[in-house]
């Protein structure tokens, strides 16, 4: 049985003081061991968030890092820095990083390898645009994203990767994929992993759905066989996140 993982992607929201306030509101009711709960905060908020979450099961993550260990990479942050500050998870390949910051498949693959090497738990995002959904080529596109991200990633590391299927047309738009649409692609991704690796990895890897998850649709989405939780943007910044965690 795969344990569900529900992660809040705060994106570029919440100052240090706002972080204290939000965690104060969320932490007691999000503190469960039925599912893995992760707050994915801006890097600058990690130390504060860590302090605020003491004594709870809630884990921390960041939204980005760079794959080099150290050096002349102005503006970047390393895996070691994130870990030392108290985060365990990191998002890799979010569509906003791919599209706005032009991260390509090669960089995403390097980040996935580095995350595992460093002991970070990666949440690898994939997902198609509206155009690809409408012209019917979305599965082929997602298959390419998965294959290139997992290039030279070992079985064990693949198994310990969380994949988040996030159709771009559903992110921040209020337009959720139906639970059947989400399940179709999550199952498809699981089958690709089965072909790249083996049945054990296929059965154990956790695949989230993300894109306008809210307290009303969480239950139906998370009840699907191949959907192992969610990556939640907008609704993770509100008390609504409590209802999603306790779906």
116 is catalytic: no
Q: Which is nearer to ligand PGA, 9 or 109 (CB)?
A: 9
Q: Which is nearer to ligand PGA, 185 or 213 (CB)?
A: 213
Residue 64 Cβ, how far from ligand PGA at the closest point, in Å?
13
The closest residue (CB) to ligand PGA is: 233
Q: Which residue has the tokens 């942050």?
A: 77
Q: Which is nearer to ligand PGA, 173 or 223 (CB)?
A: 173
Residue 96 Cβ, how far from ligand PGA at the closest point, in Å?
7
Residue 200 Cβ, how far from ligand PGA at the closest point, in Å?
28
Q: Which residue has the tokens 């306790």?
A: 246
166 is catalytic: yes
Q: Catalog residues that contact ligand PGA under the rule CB under 6 A.
A: 9, 166, 171-172, 210-213, 231-235
Q: Which is nearer to ligand PGA, 201 or 207 (CB)?
A: 207
Backbone angles phi, psi at 144, to 5 degrees: -65, -40
Residue 69 Cβ, how far from ligand PGA at the closest point, in Å?
27
| C-alpha–C-alpha distance, residues 115 and 157, integer Å | 10
Q: Which residues are catalytically annotated?
A: 94, 166
């Amino acid at each position: 049985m795969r344990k569900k993982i529900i992660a809040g992607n705060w994106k570029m929201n919440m100052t240090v003081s706002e972080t204290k306030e939000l965690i104060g509101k969320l932490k007691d009711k999000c503190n469960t061991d039925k599912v893995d709960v992760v707050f994915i905060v801006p890097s600058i908020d990690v130390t504060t968030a860590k302090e605020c979450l003491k004594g709870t099961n809630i884990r921390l993550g960041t939204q980005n890092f760079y794959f080099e260990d150290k050096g002349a990479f102005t503006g970047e942050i390393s895996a070691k820095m994130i870990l030392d500050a108290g985060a365990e998870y990191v998002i890799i390949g979010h569509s906003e990083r791919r599209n706005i910051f032009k991260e390509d498949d090669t960089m995403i693959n390097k980040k996935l390898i580095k995350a595992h090497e460093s002991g970070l738990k990666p949440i690898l995002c994939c997902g198609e645009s509206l155009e690809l959904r409408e012209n019917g080529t979305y599965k082929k596109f997602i298959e390419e994203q998965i294959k290139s991200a997992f290039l030279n990633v070992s079985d064990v590391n693949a198994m310990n990767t969380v994949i988040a299927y996030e159709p771009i047309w559903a992110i921040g738009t209020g337009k959720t994929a139906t639970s059947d649409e989400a399940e179709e692609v999550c199952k498809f991704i699981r089958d690709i992993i089965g072909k790249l690796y083996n049945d054990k990895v296929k059965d154990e890897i956790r695949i989230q759905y993300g894109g306008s998850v809210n307290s009303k649709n969480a239950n139906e989405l998370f009840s699907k066989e191949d959907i192992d939780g969610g990556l939640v943007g907008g609704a993770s910044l509100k008390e609504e996140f409590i209802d999603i965690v306790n779906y």
